[in-house]
Amino acid sequence: MIAALVAGLVLAGCDSTSGESRRDQLAVTGKPFGVSDSVTAYCATRPVVAMCEEFAPRLAEFLAESRDAEWADSMERQIAQWMLADRQSPFEMRALECRRTRCAFEYAVTTDAYGQTLDGYEELDRHMELTGGVTAPELTSGTGHGKWVSVMIWRKRS
């Protein structure tokens, strides 16, 4: 499956120099999904963060599903392509898994690259609708420097 994904990305125009790091990132695809500690910690903050309140049940719905390999493989490929199609992409994939009708995806980005927009979201949006998510700060030992970690949950459009 990973080989197929890499082939797909090469066709989409990825350069070979960053292929190794992309393969590293793609290695997370299809593995059992879990969120980073920074997300867990952020959503444990009190008073509770509003986006976390809405995110928690969406994640639970995803985790309760079984996997439809054909649909899941296809969607995982599309999400990875959206994230990594731009060879200058500053985004770091951390976890990606689709199941029967839902996908969960976690990625990270530095503050400096926070504003960078990824093309190709419309294609994803045609197949799935975003139903929940959270973006959490991940600081390096309280220095004020760090990354933003986002989790997105999609649902198959009927």
Q: Which residues bind another protein (CB under 8 A)?
A: 45-47, 49-51, 53-54, 83, 91, 107, 109, 111, 113-118, 121-122, 125, 129-135, 137, 139, 142-146, 148, 150, 152
Q: Return the DSSP state at 32.
A: P
CA distance 121 to 21: 22
Q: Collapsing DSSP states into helix, strand and coil, what is residue 152?
A: strand
The CB-of-87 to another protein minimum distance in angstroms stands at: 15
Q: Considering the complex, state which of residue 13 and residue 142 has its C-beta at the smaller distance from another protein.
A: 142
The CB-of-24 to another protein minimum distance in angstroms stands at: 19
Whether the CB-CB separation of 112 and 69 falls below 8 Å is answered with no
Q: Considering the complex, state which of residue 7 and residue 40 has its C-beta at the smaller distance from another protein.
A: 40
The CB-of-69 to another protein minimum distance in angstroms stands at: 27
The CB-of-63 to another protein minimum distance in angstroms stands at: 19
Q: Considering the complex, state which of residue 29 and residue 107 has its C-beta at the smaller distance from another protein.
A: 107
Q: Considering the complex, state which of residue 24 and residue 121 has its C-beta at the smaller distance from another protein.
A: 121
Residue 38 in tokens: 């920074």
Which run of H or of E encompasses 146? strand 146-156
Using alpha carbons, select from 23, 30, 36 the residue that is nearest to residue 109. 36
Specify the pairing of strand 92-98 against strand 146-156. unpaired
